[in-house]
């Protein structure tokens, strides 16, 4: 069995390699890759490994971006410190979704699932069931905000963008008011309806209704104009641009 490890944390990668060696000596690890860009180049230029152990948060973006750049034929075992990506992960060719810190019994169970060679029908049925369960969650409808000593509720339809600036997190309304919030953008991304909101980069989440214009930019990037205007130019990376265009066309 050949395996590829895509992980940007050195200690986590080393731990996984040791656990794989202890679990199954027949597993041949082809390498360890730490960025989305390197993973795309490797998968384009080399035969597909039997299985990929894939972290989600990498140094230059989320590993989901890989699937937009190259057809991934390998089975995937996701390994992440965050459980909020499980729904999205199972849309891909996933065998299992393991949480850090990784436990050997969980790894052993995932490998056994891989060895059983599920038929395509069985795999799709299992994945569809998991997706249906995960989709039962309700997305956020309101924010509880503070203005001095006053607490008030803001409906989600009033939110134009969410953004990070100088390590603080805000939402901005269509009436051009700014409100400090406790949630970071990673948390918000999992709480907001993906039909209405899109994480365009590390600094911004935008509402579909806030989008004014989008322009083709340098190197396959996209420049986005929103209303009310953002505090800086919103640039969508080449790796993220395909996802964004698909979202716009739904």
Q: Where are the domains of the chain?
A: 2-134, 142-248
pTM: 0.51
What number is the average pLDDT over the span 25-34?
93
Task: Give residue-wise pLDDT tens across range 123-168.
Answer: 555 666 666 666 656 788 999 998 888 899 999 999 999 999 998 9
Residue 86: enclosing H or E segment and its boundaries? helix 86-89
Q: Phi/psi of residue 66, each to 5°?
A: -60, -40
What is the C-alpha separation between 91 and 179, in angstroms, rounded?
A: 34
Contact between 231 and 163 under an 8 Å Cβ cutoff? The reply is yes
Contact between 196 and 207 under an 8 Å Cβ cutoff? The reply is yes
The answer for residues whose C-beta is within 8 angstroms of residue 28's C-beta and 6 or more apart is 1, 2, 3
Instruction: Point out the least confidently predicted range of 52-61, 91-100, 156-165, 201-210.
Output: 91-100
- Averaged pLDDT of the chain: 88
Pairing outcome for strands 51-54 and 2-6: parallel
Tally the C-alpha atoms within 13 A of residue 117's C-alpha that lie toward its C-beta.
2
Residue 15: enclosing H or E segment and its boundaries? helix 10-23
pLDDT at 121: 43
CATH architecture of the domain covering 2-134: 3-Layer(aba) Sandwich (3.40)
The class (CATH top level) of 142-248 is: mainly beta
């Amino acid at each position: 069995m050949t395996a590829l490890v895509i992980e940007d944390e050195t200690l986590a990668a080393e731990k996984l390699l040791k656990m794989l060696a202890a679990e199954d000596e027949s597993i041949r690890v082809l390498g360890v890759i730490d960025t989305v860009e390197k993973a795309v180049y490797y998968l384009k230029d080399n035969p597909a490994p039997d299985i990929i152990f894939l972290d989600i948060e990498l140094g230059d973006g989320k590993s989901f971006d890989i699937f937009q750049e190259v057809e991934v034929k390998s089975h995937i075992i996701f390994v992440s410190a965050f459980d909020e990506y499980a729904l999205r992960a199972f849309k891909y060719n996933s065998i299992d979704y393991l949480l850090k810190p990784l436990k050997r019994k969980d790894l052993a169970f995932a490998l056994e699932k891989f060895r059983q060679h599920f038929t395509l029908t069985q795999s799709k049925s299992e994945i569809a069931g998991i997706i249906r369960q995960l989709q039962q969650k309700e997305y956020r409808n309101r924010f509880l905000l503070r203005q001095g000593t006053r607490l008030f509720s803001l409906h989600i339809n009033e939110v134009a963008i969410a953004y990070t600036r100088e390590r603080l997190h805000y939402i901005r309304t269509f009436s051009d008011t700014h409100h400090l919030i406790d949630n970071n953008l990673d948390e918000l991304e999992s709480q907001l309806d993906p039909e209405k909101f899109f994480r365009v980069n590390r600094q911004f989440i935008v509402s579909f209704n806030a989008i004014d214009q989008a322009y083709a930019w340098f190197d396959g990037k996209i420049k986005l104009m929103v209303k009310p205007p953002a505090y800086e130019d919103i640039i969508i990376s080449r790796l993220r641009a395909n996802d964004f265009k698909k979202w716009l066309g739904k």
